């Protein structure tokens, strides 16, 4: 049927409008944990439906979003400096809008808009689906804020737009929030109570990633071992679930198995594990499936029982050793890494020695170490005095970093002479002629490119190393290569 003139005019007006709206540019910067980087990909997806394309160029941005971190004071100061810079740019580009997302948005809420007036929009981690409305508000000249925490939001139905991706490795978020209430930690306040994402939507996302050429996923959560799907809702409400829901619930070991079976060639990693929640089932599932990598990030925070208790970490040093022994018995070549805090309130020299001796026992492959930073609103801030002097925190931190460096070197050397599978992620930072990838234990390996390409699974002979990088030579494709 022939179109009437009216219809065709309307049609072209519509496509013109769509083209105009599609030309808006979003510049997004992320700070803090992997979860924040993953959330930014959800935000980019929600906004692409609103006609925003992402850009890497700040100077062409119509909307600048900063996904922020509150974990330590320093993280907040870094973000503040960036916000001041964006505010200065706005003087020359008044149409540019600035929004703050994530944990600082949640923690400081209206303060940004009312007292400081350096941003146009404040959006907490559970409110990203409200972004279309909030953007309309700021387009109409009003400030916008939504920091409501949710009981069931997991963004399971949002397909993330991959940002700064190497096209090979991707994050897949599986839980949100945290119920643990470690006394030093701000996360339960900024990200709310723990809830798990529908396993089917996780498997669908992993399948889709495989189709698009991705070869490794990291399942993300503040405490992945505590994953429990029973049909929606908060983890703490599981006791109230129906018998049917309880009978069909999926825990983390079962989720790992589902993902491993769905894509038997996809490498699977996960982060972060909390010692108090990691089960033997999870370790056995790791051992059972070749494609689940032999690496566990298992933060301990301190080696002293007294400090662990004050931190509300619900395990002892001895129980932690038992877990480490079980991991090593079931997966002998499993790499383990830590997070450690020095100078928690009341920490004595003896507590610090306990941390060093715990590290000697485990000999971690890698570590992330921090000086205690008091966070407003946490239990430690309310109940304890931040009484370890800054220079003592600094000296103890330097000592654990030095010990970790030695262990890292020893662990890296253990791979020498072996032929291991490496997934190629991209060109080495130090040499155009070398590829960079990781072995199952997450150790970085570099080797001459030859005819291999990004995304290949390659067998690499490890000939040499620095303290944290293996230097090798490819000897052929892995059986896993596609
Ligand atoms: N379960 C989370 C932990 C998030 S915080 C995860 O997925 O990694 C990451 C690390 O920051 C913690 O393990 C802890 O070592 C450190 N950290 C948290 N709060 C801190 C504080 N107040 N001061 C110093 N370090 C802190
Ligand atoms: Fe923080 Fe402890 Fe949860 S470190 S994120 S409260 S497991």
In the predicted model, is pLDDT for residue 16 greater than 60?
no
Q: Is the domain of 336 the same as that of 209?
A: yes
97 plus 57 within the same structural domain: yes
Of residues 281, 406, 275, the one with CA closest to residue 338:
275
pLDDT of residue 333: 97
Flag whether 182 is in a domain.
yes
Residue where a domain stops, chosen among 386, 413, 440 = 413
Give domain status of residue 468, yes or no: yes
In this prediction, residue 482 carries a pLDDT of: 78
User: What is the pLDDT averaged over residues 15-24?
Assistant: 53
Residue 430 lies in a domain: yes
Q: How confident is the model at residue 54 (pLDDT cuts 50, 70, 90)?
A: very high
Instruction: Compute how many other C-beta atoms are within 10 angstroms of the C-beta atom of residue 396.
Output: 25
Q: Can you tell me the mean pLDDT for 127-146?
A: 96
Mean pLDDT of 390-397: 98
Q: How far is the CA of 121 from the centre of ligand 1 (A)?
A: 27
**7 pLDDT above the threshold of 50:** no
140 and 179 inside one domain? no
Which residues, 6 or more positions from 390, have their beta carbon under 8 angstroms from its beta carbon? 371
Pick from 341, 345, 379 the residue to mutate for probing ligand 1's pocket: most ligand atoms within 8 Å of its CB.
341
Residue 37 has pLDDT above 60, yes or no: yes
Shared domain check, 99 and 186:
no
154 in a structural domain: no
Is-cis flag, bond preceding 12, omega within 30?
no
Q: How far is the CA of 71 from the centre of ligand 1 (A)?
A: 6
Binding-site residues for [4Fe-4S] cluster, in ranges, read 33, 69, 103, 178, 182, 185
Ligand 2 atom index nearest CA of 185: 1
Asked whether residue 159 is domain-assigned, the answer is no
pTM (2 d.p.): 0.93
Do the domain assignments include residue 99?
A: yes
With 50 as the cut, is the pLDDT of residue 312 above it?
yes
Q: How far is residue 417's CA from residue 464's CA, in Å, rounded to a whole number?
A: 8
CB 90 within 8 A of CB 121: no
* Domain finish residue from 115, 146, 177: 146
Q: Is 372 close to ligand 1, i.e. is its CB under 6 Å away?
A: yes
Q: How confident is the model at residue 116 (pLDDT cuts 50, 70, 90)?
A: confident
CATH code where residue 238 lies: 3.80.30.20
Q: What angle do CA 74, 305, 223 make, to 5 degrees?
A: 55
164-198: pLDDT as tens digits = 899 999 999 999 999 999 999 999 999 999 999 99
The residue segments making up the domain with residue 73 are 4-146
Position 57 scores a pLDDT of 93
- CA 439–ligand 2 middle distance (angstroms): 28
Q: What does the pLDDT read at residue 120?
A: 95
- Claim to verify: residue 472 and residue 374 sit in the same structural domain: no
What's the average model confidence in pLDDT over 99-109? Answer: 96
User: Is residue 186 in a domain?
Assistant: yes
CB of 67 closer than 8 Å to CB of 29? yes
Alpha carbon of 223 to ligand 2 centroid (Å): 7
Q: Which of 114, 146, 178 corresponds to the end of one domain?
A: 146
Count of the separate structural domains present in the chain: 3
With a cut of 80, say whether residue 279 has pLDDT above it: yes
Closest ligand to residue 224's CA: 1
Instruction: Judge whether 157 lies within some domain.
Output: no
The mean pLDDT of the chain is 93
**Residue 292 predicted with pLDDT over 50:** yes
Q: What's the pLDDT at 12?
A: 35
Which pLDDT value is given to residue 233? Answer: 86
Asked if 175 and 137 sit in the same domain, the reply is no
pLDDT confidence of residue 22: 62
Query: At residue 94, does pLDDT exceed 60?
Result: yes
Same domain, yes or no: 66 and 141 = yes
pLDDT band for position 21 (50/70/90)?
low
And the tokens for 398?
Answer: 């330097």
Calpha distance 101→109 (Å, rounded) = 10
Contacts for 36 with CB less than 8 Å, ≥ 6 apart: 30, 67, 68, 69, 102, 103
pLDDT tens digits, one per residue of 316-354:
999 999 999 999 999 999 999 999 999 999 999 999 999
Which ligand is closest to the CA of 397, given by its number? 1
Q: What is the atom index within ligand 2 of the atom nearest the CA of 178?
A: 3
Report the share of the chain in percent with pLDDT over 90.
Answer: 90
CATH number at residue 456: 2.40.50.140
């Amino acid at each position: 049927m022939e179109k009437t003139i009216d219809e065709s005019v309307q049609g072209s007006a519509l496509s013109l409008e769509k083209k105009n709206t599609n030309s808006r540019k979003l510049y997004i910067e992320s700070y803090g944990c992997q979860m924040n980087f993953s959330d930014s990909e959800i935000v980019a997806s929600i906004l692409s439906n609103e006609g925003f394309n992402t850009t890497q160029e700040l100077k062409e941005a119509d909307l600048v979003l900063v996904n922020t971190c509150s974990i330590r004071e320093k993280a907040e100061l870094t973000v503040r400096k960036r916000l001041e810079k964006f505010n200065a740019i706005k003087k020359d580009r008044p149409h540019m809008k600035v929004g703050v997302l994530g944990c600082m948005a949640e923690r400081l809420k209206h303060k940004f808009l009312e007292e400081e007036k350096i941003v146009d929009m404040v959006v907490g981690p559970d409110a990203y689906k409200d972004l279309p409305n909030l953007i309309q508000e700021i387009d109409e000249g009003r400030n916008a804020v939504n920091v409501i925490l949710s009981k069931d939001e997991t963004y399971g139905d949002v397909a993330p737009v991959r940002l700064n991706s190497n096209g090979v490795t991707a994050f897949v978020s599986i839980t949100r929030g945290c119920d643990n209430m470690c006394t030093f930690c701000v996360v339960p306040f900024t990200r709310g109570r723990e809830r798990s994402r529908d396993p089917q939507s996780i498997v669908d996302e992993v399948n889709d990633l495989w189709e698009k050429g991705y070869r490794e996923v990291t399942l993300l959560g503040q405490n992945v071992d505590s994953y429990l799907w029973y049909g929606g809702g908060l983890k703490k409400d599981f006791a109230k679930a129906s018998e049917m829901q309880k009978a069909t619930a999926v825990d983390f070991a079962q989720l790992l198995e589902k993902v491993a079976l769905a894509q038997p060639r996809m490498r699977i990693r996960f982060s972060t594990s909390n010692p108090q929640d990691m089960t033997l089932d999870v370790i056995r599932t790791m051992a059972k499936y070749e494609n689940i990598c032999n690496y566990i990030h298992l933060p301990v925070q301190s080696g002293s029982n007294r400090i662990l208790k004050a931190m509300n970490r619900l395990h002892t040093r001895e129980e932690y050793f038992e877990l480490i022994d079980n991991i090593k018995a079931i997966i002998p070549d499993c790499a383990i890494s830590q997070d450690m805090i020095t100078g928690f309130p009341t920490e004595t020299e003896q507590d610090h020695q306990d941390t060093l001796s715990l590290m000697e026992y485990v000999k971690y492959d890698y570590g992330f170490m921090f000086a205690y930073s008091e966070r407003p609103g946490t239990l430690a801030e309310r109940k304890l005095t931040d009484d370890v002097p800054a220079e003592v925190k600094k000296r103890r931190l330097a000592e654990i970093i030095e010990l970790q460096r030695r262990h890292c070197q020893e662990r890296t050397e253990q791979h020498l002479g072996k032929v291991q599978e490496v997934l190629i992620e991209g060109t080495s930072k130090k040499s155009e002629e070398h590829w960079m990838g990781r072995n199952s234990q997450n150790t970085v390996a570099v080797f001459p490119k030859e005819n291999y390409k990004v995304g290949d699974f390659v067998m690499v002979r490890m000939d040499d190393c620095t303290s944290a990088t293996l230097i090798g030579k490819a000897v052929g494709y892995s059986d896993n290569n596609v």
